[in-house]
């Protein structure tokens, strides 16, 4: 989806990748969601039996568990702005990656432990590797090829603007 809407900060939105839900992302939500529901049931039982402090602790744990499902495991939205890539998990959780910290971009396929470690930003094994000065960041937009094309255009525009 391409747009010229100006989000907060006055930067123009060049391209936005809409998140996708697939079987893998739904299955990834089950363990923390089940844990959150179990903790919520325990909280209600503790509160009903008069153990207020324990019930409150279980309620906080259940809330944190359920929040983590939607904030960090749910498919995320990738926004290309004039000067940065914004990874939106769930409002207000987002990460900005300035183009000045991206040295290159290449397609990448994650395998094994690398896929598990990168799950915060990759919901698919087919992803994009953003090469940085110290480390790489992996993202997995729904349409990898289109997003890479738009990202490369935005990086080139940003570099030419900085050197001009």
pLDDT digits (tens, 9 = 90+) for 17-26: 877 666 666 6
Answer yes or no: do 32 and 86 share one domain: no
Determine the distance from the C-alpha atom of residue 142 to the mean position of all C-alpha atoms in its chain, rounded to a whole number: 12
Answer yes or no: do 64 and 85 share one domain: no
Has residue 100 been placed in a domain?
A: yes
| CA within 13 Å, CB half, 31 | 4
Whole-angstrom Cα distance, residue 98 to residue 95?
10
Answer yes or no: do 68 and 92 share one domain: no
Has residue 2 been placed in a domain?
A: no
Answer yes or no: do 97 and 144 share one domain: yes
Q: Which residues neighbour 127 within 8 Å (Cβ) at sequence distance 6 or greater? A: 107, 108, 109, 110, 118, 121, 138, 139, 140, 144
Has residue 120 been placed in a domain?
A: yes
End-to-end, the C-alpha distance of the chain in Å comes to 29
Residue 115 banded pLDDT, cuts 50, 70, 90: low
Decide: pTM greater than 0.75: no
User: What confidence score (pLDDT) does residue 142 get?
Assistant: 81
User: What confidence score (pLDDT) does residue 84 get?
Assistant: 92
User: What confidence score (pLDDT) does residue 58 get?
Assistant: 93
Number of structural domains, the chain? 2
Answer yes or no: do 84 and 31 share one domain: no
Cβ distance 19 to 87 under 8 Å?
A: no
Answer yes or no: do 61 and 136 share one domain: no
Whole-angstrom Cα distance, residue 119 to residue 73?
8
139: domain CATH number is: 2.30.29.30
Average pLDDT (41-51) is: 93
Structural domain containing residue 59: 25-72
Has residue 147 been placed in a domain?
A: yes
User: What confidence score (pLDDT) does residue 24 get?
Assistant: 66
Q: Which residues neighbour 10 within 8 Å (Cβ) at sequence distance 6 or greater? A: none
Answer yes or no: do 60 and 80 share one domain: no
User: What confidence score (pLDDT) does residue 52 get?
Assistant: 93
Answer yes or no: do 68 and 96 share one domain: no
């Amino acid at each position: 989806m391409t747009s010229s809407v100006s989000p907060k900060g006055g930067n123009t939105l060049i391209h936005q990748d809409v998140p996708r839900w697939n079987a893998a992302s739904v299955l990834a939500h089950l363990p923390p969601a089940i844990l959150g529901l179990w903790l919520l049931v325990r909280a209600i039982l503790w509160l009903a039996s008069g153990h207020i402090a324990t019930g409150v602790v279980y309620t906080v744990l259940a809330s944190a568990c359920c929040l983590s499902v939607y904030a960090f495991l749910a498919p995320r939205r990738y926004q290309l702005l004039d000067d940065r890539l914004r990874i939106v998990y769930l409002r207000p959780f987002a990460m900005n990656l300035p183009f000045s910290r991206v040295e290159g971009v290449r397609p990448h396929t994650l395998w094994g432990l690398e896929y598990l470690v990168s799950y915060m930003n990759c919901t698919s094994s087919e992803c994009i590797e953003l090469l940085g000065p110290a480390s790489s960041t992996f993202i997995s937009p729904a349409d990898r090829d289109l997003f890479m094309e738009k990202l490369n255009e935005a990086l080139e525009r940003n570099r030419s603007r900085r050197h001009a």
